[in-house]
Chains A and B, each alone.
Chain A
Amino acid sequence: MNLFEYVRPASVAEAIAAAGEPNSAYLGAGTNLLDLMKGGALTPARLVDLTHLPDLGSIETLPDGSTRIGALVKNAALAHDTDFAKRFPVVAEALLSGASAQLRNAATVGGNLMQRTRCPYFTDTASACNKRQPGSGCDAIGGENRSHAVLGWSENCIAVHPSDFCVALTALGAIVEIEGTTGRREVPITEFFLLPGDTPEKETVLEAGEMIVAVRLPAEAAKLAANQRYLKVRERTSYAFALASAAAALTIENGAITEARLALGGVAPKPWRASEAEAALVGKAPGKEAFAAAAEAAFAEAKPSGDNAYKIELGKRVVARVLAMAAAGTPERMPALPASAFAPLPEGVVNV
């Protein structure tokens, strides 16, 4: 709990200047930030409200064929943009599998990227948490960690990144457009998120005051539209975070995979690009054998961080399944339960 200052800038430049003050935070829809503030996990001294900024709310196709999504575009608006969903169906499916309709109507693209982990020790101010309070320890280790990371974790933090959207963006090689006091820069999403290492409090490459202004999907990502899917395994049919998820996109030519994109969610501290698995797929005939090998490759480095060994096995099965689903082709229509195990299954993807 904290008294804080509320700033409503009129331009990106003003926003950046305002957020340059120490302990400032950008405010998107607040669906994550405000919850954390109410619980006392985050105590910014200044909130810089981005939601009234002009020009950050559109989805545009640039001359080079890439698609630029403004940081303030709502999750729901993006997923329901027919043209966008046609070109990047895995992104739409991932978005629609996240949170609830109400949250998606509010949540912003920038906020989704920057949402914090759901590790209960991060939220609980009475617990030690290196991410919340650097150097205090990590109570998740040796505690309740059934949903924690099996890839990329460190002795200092084993939390997972919760976003679904970012998993699809990672698979398609999105670029994050950043603006700060020193100007604009662009960072591929695979480099945008950092692993915890010794500094779990530092989750992204953003420097103080820097903000996300847009996310760009490169033109070549659209070429994968025919074969892409998101699969999210969870303990509830809807409205639950992923225990393990994966986004896959394939190009299949003459019976062989010529290009593969694969990213994992719910298993690592950041949206996890599974490059080895992608490499293992290229040149192979789509099928059980290739997909199983890719699943093994994706989790070759995995190790449990606590009571979560099951996630390794689960993760492999998710990968094998999502690849089979992608190979079967992007569905004509978005399923009623996007990314769900209970959405219509293409023939032959279940191992019986």
Chain B
Amino acid sequence: MSDIASLPTGSRQRQGSNIGQPMTRRDGILKVTGSATYAADNNPEGLMHAVLATATIARGKVTRLDVEAARAHPGVVEVMTPENRPPLATDPDEKTNPFAFRLDALQNDGVRYAGQPIAVVVAKTLEAAVEGAALLRPSYETEAARVDLEGESFVAEIVGPGAPGRAASGDFDAAFASAAKHIEATYDTPPQYHNAMEPHSIVVRWEGDSLSIDMPTQGLAMAVGRTAELFGISPEKIHIRSPFLGGGFGSKGLAAGPQVLGILAAKLVGAPVKLVLTRQQMYGPVGHRGQTRQTVKLGMGEDGRLAAIEHHTLTSTSRFDDFLEPASNVTHSLYAAPAIRTTHAGSRIDIGTPMFMRAPGEAPGSAALESAIDEAAFAAGMDPLDFRLLNYAEVEPISGKPFSSKALRECYERGAARFGWSKRPQAPRSMRDGEGRLLGWGVGTATFPAIMFQAEARAVIRADGSGLMEIGAHDMGQGAWTALHQIAADGLGLSMDEVEFRSGSSDLPNAGIAGGSGHTATAGTALHGAGEDVIARLTELAVNDEASPLYGAGNVGVVARNGRLVRQDDESRGEPYAAILKRAGLAEIEGRGQSAADPAAQERYAMDAHGAVFAEVAVDPNLGQIRVTRLVGAFAAGRVINPRMVESQYYGGMIWGLSFALHEEAVHDKRTGRIMNANLAEYRVPVNADVPSLEAILVHEDDPHVNALGVKGVGEIGITGTVGAIANAIWHATGVRVRRFPIGLADLLGGTPDVSDKGV
């Protein structure tokens, strides 16, 4: 049984459905009182501290490390380098499956990006380990590095986690050539790095050849699998606990090199080891969003109807592995056009391998596409929202499949009404606030696919009529402890207080991966299935038991209500779960549930969540400083399990969109390849004053096809649409179209008549 305690139950007694209720986070009190145990909060007996030493060059090899000096430092126990690193059963450079990304685990003296781990110092105290790492003073053989997109590129056949790099419908070239109007524009998005509040960490204990691990992960089962493969031990011998993550956003989806190094270090010193990355060490070995240069070509008729769309993305990957930001693919589903072509190219540069980062592909892709659509609307002389409605995709443009559901029109409508969009003058530079600042309004369409992974869940009804639900799910802060518990309770026909919910541990049923905005759909569907299964078994007992008031009710049907099974045709006739189990002499009854995407439904339907984001920006006409004064997003993503959590996801996504539009950028020194702003003082993200007004509207949407619960995903969609909406609003405010993100005041200083007017 899992040694992760279920969360203490608050008083949330509710009769009837828990799904749809805005429950507060069940882990909220633990978190605000500091009693939620994150991985790095674990301090097993005899713990030692491991600290990484990382490369300051981007390409070459380590020629010397002053291991003696580090070892001689009081408190240092061992220095792990490629020379003495314990062997691994699988080469970390071997691609055993498409999700096995190459890791840096001290397999050799090579350096392939700045920030790569080159040694691990283990000491009795954190301070000694830090000092030991500093004493290593590495020498290098340095090769010239490249960290931009100006070098050679290759055609990318596979992008993201295994999607085709090119797709087409219709004849783009012909359609573009014969279109009445053309837009062609290139947009640059920068490298962005993960900055979850909780840095990657691991606390490892080897118990013989078994492993006991505390580490934040978005994919417990995959982490177990990868660890088993690397260390050559069976998965049953590995137990990972991950009850809380301080944010994941894709960076904790797959086991990262530093976590593997923690396990190796524990093996080397024969003691429990804790390894926690510093903020700076997050910039390299744990994935990032690769930079892109995207060219969008739009051909349209005189009436503004799109005839041809081409979206080409050039993006970076590392020298040693492939993860190419699938930015062009957002164009598959957004706007209708008879001819669409999407392509990708990659460029190998001296960086850590890019990886999933909240809305991989969609975030930068929609930034470019939504900007280009706005440029097209203006060229067509149309309001940007009318233009989007004119080119509304009734079916998925590239495949021709109908959408399983699509309430985008209503999103546009409700968002626009709330925002006051109808008052928008078409010409740029035509609005001012009361004090003379330029105001601009922009819109962007949000979209994200409804993805599901495979999962299992276990449901139990106990002799006293209470329930237990188990699934190894992941709460990254998004509220899985709460939303999944709501689903679990409804699945058992009990209140949340009557159901113990266990999660966050690898010895529970596999919940798949908390990624792709698919966790609630995936884990929720498995829980729902487990509930159905156990209720069916209980029903089976009752309807076949002459002593039960439900005897023979199999045909009319039996439903679970508030801890009782009742006849569907007469809910007054029934009996409590406890009574059924008692008569049957059972201490408990168990059911199982599975979930996976339904291939038949996927074949028939395109499945996506949608939304519309409206932004207002104010720009100082003389100084160029920008502020997003209002953001309104309206989203439709199927059934809402917990509106409070969903709203938070939209808020977080939209704020990240703002961050993308105006702030985030890892700045490399082009000569050395090092990132010069690898800290939260200089890697800018928005602060409260940057987000004065934020609203999310939850648009109702029923989807009978995505899964039994009708749930799509809400985790990533908020960032899409928002970036473009803000860029478009800046254009509308200033008349300056900035095609490089993040947009800053220097971009606006020179470009407009007022702004360059020096009279002030």
Task: Give chain B residues whose Cβ lies under 8 Å from the Cβ of A316.
Answer: 758
- In whole angstroms, what is the CA distance A316 to B757 when docked? 11
A236 adjacent to B686 (CB under 8 Å):
yes
Stretch from A75-83, A108-116, A136-144, A210-218 forming part of the interface with B: A136-144
A295 within 8 A of B: yes
660-680 of chain B: CB within 8 A of chain A: 662-663, 667, 669-672, 674, 676-677
Q: Which residue of A lies closest to B671 (CB)?
A: A143
B437 near A350 (CB under 8 angstroms)?
Answer: yes
Contacts of A243 in B (CB 8 A): 745
- A60 interfacial contact with B, CB 8 Å: no
Within 8 A of B (CB), among A310-348: 310, 313-314, 316-318, 320-321, 324, 337, 341-342, 344-345, 347
Which residues on the B side are within 8 Å of A321 (C-beta)?
A: 622-623, 760
> B621 and A352: CB pair below 8 A?
yes
CB within 8 Å of B: which of A115-132?
118, 120-121, 124, 126-127
Contact flags B611-630 to A (C-beta < 8 A → 1, else 0): 00000001011111101000
Per the CB 8 Å criterion, the residue count for chain A at the interface is: 47
Whether, in the assembled complex, A45 has its beta carbon less than 8 Å from a beta carbon of chain B, the answer is: no
CB-CB under 8 A for A317 and B687, given A144-B669, A351-B622: no
CB neighbours (8 Å) of B760 from chain A are: 288, 291-292, 295, 317, 320-321, 324, 351
- Which one, B35-43, B344-352, B746-754, is touching chain A? B746-754
Contact A314 B671 (CB under 8 A): no
Q: Is the CB of A342 within 8 A of B687?
A: no
What is the bound-complex CA distance between A142 and B670, given in angstroms? 10
A342 x B130 contact (CB < 8 A): no
Question: Is A239 an interface position by the 8 A CB rule?
Answer: yes
Which residue of A is nearest B435, CB measured? A345
**Nearest CB in chain B: distance from A318 CB, A:** 7
How distant is the Cα of A127 from the Cα of B133 in the complex, in angstroms? 18
**Complex Cα gap A1–B130 (Å):** 8
In the complex, the chain A residue whose C-beta lies closest to that of B624 is: A314
**Chain A residue with minimal CB distance to B73?**
A3
Q: Which A137-181 residues sit within 8 Å CB-CB of chain B?
A: 139, 142-144, 146
Whole-angstrom CA separation of A351 from B438 in the bound complex: 11
Contacts of A146 in B (CB 8 A): 746
Q: Across the interface, which residues of B come within 8 angstroms of A320, CB to CB?
A: 622, 758, 760
Cβ contact within 8 Å between B622 and A317: yes
> Which B residues lie within 8 Å of A236 (CB)?
663, 684, 686-687, 689-690
The 0/1 profile, CB within 8 Å of B marked 1, for residues 213-248 of chain A is: 000000000000000000001111111100100000
In the complex, the answer to whether A124 meets B676 with C-beta atoms within 8 Å is yes
B690 CB to closest chain A CB, in angstroms? 5
CB within 8 Å for A344 and B435 given contacts A1-B131, A126-B674: yes
Contact residues, B418-463 vs A (CB, 8 A) = 432, 435-437
Measured between beta carbons, the chain A residues less than 8 angstroms from B745 are 233, 235, 243, 314
A341/B620 contact (C-beta < 8 A), A146-B746, A236-B687, A240-B684 known: yes
Does B134 lie at the interface of the complex (its beta carbon under 8 Å from any beta carbon of A)?
yes
> For residue A188, which residues in chain B have a CB less than 8 angstroms away from its CB?
none
Q: How far is the CB of B544 from chain A (nearest CB, A)?
A: 66
Q: Is the CB of A235 within 8 A of B620?
A: no
Contact with A along B117-136 (1 / 0, CB 8 A): 00000000000001101110
- Which residues A39-72 have CB closer than 8 A to chain B? 39-40
Q: Does B218 contact A (CB under 8 A)?
A: no
Question: In the bound complex, do residue B625 and residue A313 qualify as a contact, i.e. CB atoms below 8 Å apart?
Answer: no
Complex Cα distance, B755 from A313, in Å, reads 10
Q: Is the CB of B676 within 8 A of A341?
A: no
Point out the residue from A3, A143, A238, A310 that lies within 8 Å of B746, measured CB to CB.
A310
Check B684–A121 contact: CB distance below 8 A: no
Question: A282-311 interface mask toward B, CB cutoff 8 Å, 1 = contact, 0 = none?
Answer: 000000100110010000000000000010
Closest to A323 in B: B760
Contact of B436 among A237, A318, A352 (CB under 8 A): A352
A126–B432 CB distance below 8 A: no
Q: How far is the CB of B40 from chain A (nearest CB, A)?
A: 18
Instruction: Determine the distance from Cα of A316 to Cα of B624 in the docked complex, in whole angstroms.
Output: 13
A350 touches B625 (CB 8 A): no
Out of A121, A314, A341, name the residue touching B749 (CB < 8 Å): A314
Contact with A along B679-700 (1 / 0, CB 8 A): 0011010111110000000000
A40 with B625: CB separation less than 8 A: no
B554: shortest Cβ distance to chain A, in Å?
A: 65
Pairwise interchain contact A351-B131, C-beta atoms closer than 8 A? no
Per the bound structure, the CA–CA distance linking A284 and B160 in Å amounts to 64
Contacts of B622 in A (CB 8 A): 317, 320-321, 350-351
The residue that A318 contacts in the complex, of B134, B623, B670, with Cβ under 8 A, is B623
Q: Does B744 lie within 8 Å of A317, measured CB to CB?
A: no
Q: Is the CB of B684 within 8 A of A351?
A: no
Q: B759 an interface residue at 8 Å Cβ cutoff?
A: yes
Give chain B nearest CB distance to A6 CB in angstroms: 14
In whole Å, how far is A132's beta carbon from the nearest beta carbon of chain B? 14
| Residue in B closest to A314 when the chains form the complex, CB atoms | B749
Given the contacts A120-B677, A139-B669, A350-B435, A1 and B759 also touching, CB distance less than 8 Å? no
Residue-wise, chain A 26-44 has the 8 Å CB interface mask toward B (1 for contact) of 0000000000000110000
Q: Are B134 and A337 in contact (CB under 8 A)?
A: no
With the chains together, A204 CA to B71 CA distance in Å? 40
Q: Which residues of B contact A139 (CB under 8 A)?
A: 669, 671
Q: Which B residues, 247 to 267, have Cβ-Cβ distances below 8 Å to chain A?
A: none
Is B294 part of the contact surface with A, judged by Cβ < 8 Å? Answer: no
Contact A237–B758 (Cβ < 8 Å): no
Chain A CB within 8 A of B56 CB: yes
Given contacts A139-B669, A321-B760, A344-B435, contact A234 B131 (CB under 8 A): no
- B623:A351 contact, CB within 8 angstroms: no
- Cα A50 to Cα B198 with chains together (Å): 33
B624 contact set on A, CB distance < 8 A: 233, 314
Contact A235 B754 (CB under 8 A): no
Q: How far is the CA of A103 from the CA of B437 in the complex (A)?
A: 30
CB distance from B548 to the nearest CB of A (A): 64
Known contacts A239-B687, A310-B749; A234 and B625 CB within 8 A of each other:
yes
How far in angstroms is the closest Cβ of chain B from A286?
A: 13
Task: Give Cα A45 to B745, complex, Å.
Answer: 42
Task: Provide the residues of chain A in CB contact with B435, threshold 8 Å.
Answer: 344-345, 347, 350
Query: B758, A314: Cβ atoms under 8 Å?
Result: no
Which chain B residues border A3 with CB–CB below 8 Å?
Answer: 131
A237 touches B676 (CB 8 A): no
Residues from chain A with a CB closer than 8 A to the CB of B135 are: 1
Please give the distance in Å from A232's CB to the nearest CB on chain B: 10
A318-B749 Cα distance, complex, nearest whole Å = 12
How far does the Cβ of B305 sit from chain A's closest Cβ, in whole Å?
38
Would you call B682 and A120 a contact (CB within 8 A)?
yes
With beta carbons under 8 angstroms apart, the residue of A124, A240, A317 that contacts B623 is A317
Chain A nearest CB from B119 CB (Å) reads 15
- Inter-chain contacts of A240 with B (CB < 8 A): 684
Q: Shortest beta-carbon distance, A293 to chain B, in Å?
A: 10
**Contact assessment for A118 and B623 in the assembled complex, using a CB-CB cutoff below 8 Å:** no
In the assembled complex, how far is the CB of residue A147 from the closest CB belonging to chain B, in whole angstroms? 9
> Given A126-B56, A317-B622, A342-B627, A40–B134 Cβ distance below 8 Å?
yes
Interface-central residue, A314, A324, A349, by most chain B CB under 10 Å: A314
Q: List 21 A-B contacts (CB under 8 A).
A: A1-B135, A3-B131, A120-B676, A120-B677, A144-B676, A235-B625, A235-B663, A237-B627, A238-B689, A288-B759, A291-B760, A313-B750, A314-B745, A317-B749, A317-B758, A320-B622, A320-B760, A345-B436, A345-B437, A349-B436, A351-B757
Chain B residues proximal to chain A, CB less than 8 Å: 56, 130-131, 133-135, 280, 432, 435-437, 618, 620-625, 627, 662-663, 667, 669-672, 674, 676-677, 681-682, 684, 686-690, 744-746, 749-750, 754, 757-760
Known: A237-B687, A238-B688, A317-B622. 8 other contacts (CB 8 A): A121-B676, A126-B674, A143-B669, A288-B759, A288-B760, A313-B749, A314-B624, A341-B623
- Top 6 A-B pairs, shortest CB-CB distance: A350-B436, A1-B134, A126-B56, A320-B760, A237-B689, A238-B689
